[in-house]
Amino acid sequence: MPAEAVIVRDYRPGDQPAFKRLNLAWIEQLFDVEPSDLQQLDDPEGHILAPGGRVLLAELDGQTVGTVALIPAHDAPGRLELVKMSVDAGQRGKGIGRALMQAAIEAARQMGAAQIWLESNRKLDAARGLYASSGFRELSGSEFACTPYTRCDIQMQLDL
């Protein structure tokens, strides 16, 4: 199925269950769900949108099949954190992740960001490949920021 069939849109009231479902699916499969996860997944309006962030959702044939969010960094003006990127396991390989990433980068530019920063895990090969092919570079030693996630063992940044 071509990526053109994927529609990426902003979060709307009523999207929280899909946002949570899509993210819990991969987190529970590979890691432990952590308190920071639940804060964002249970209340994206309060923990992502209210501080000035955005949540984007991907739809395919009328079904919500992916999500990503951007949150302003509280300690660095002009820097956004990319969080909660997920694509339904049965829909992977259809360009949904790439469409979400392109939409997130464009949204970050619209928000006036100079950088997008993210945390991930080395075992997420497909995600890391997408990040790298989108221009993110791995941060090293002194650049590595404190994280609330025990699963995080890599951080990456894209300069816009």
User: Under 8 Å CB-to-CB from 151, ≥6 apart: which residues?
Assistant: 30, 31, 32, 34, 121
Q: Percentage helix, strand, coil, to 5, in the chain?
A: 40, 30, 35
User: Under 8 Å CB-to-CB from 99, ≥6 apart: which residues?
Assistant: 3, 6, 8, 58, 66
Q: Quick one: tokens of 78?
A: 């002009």
**Does pLDDT of 132 surpass 60?**
yes
**Backbone φ, ψ for residue 63 (5° rounding):** -105, 140
- pTM for this prediction: 0.92
Q: What is the pLDDT of residue 81?
A: 95
Q: What confidence tens digit (pLDDT) does each residue in 46-85 have?
A: 999 999 999 999 999 999 999 999 999 888 889 999 999 9
Q: What is the pLDDT of residue 149?
A: 79
Write down all domains in the chain, each with its CATH number in brackets: 3-159 (3.40.630.30)
Kindly indicate the confidence band of residue 4, based on its pLDDT and cuts at 50, 70 and 90: low
CA–CA dist 100, 78 (Å, integer): 21
**Does pLDDT of 150 surpass 90?**
no
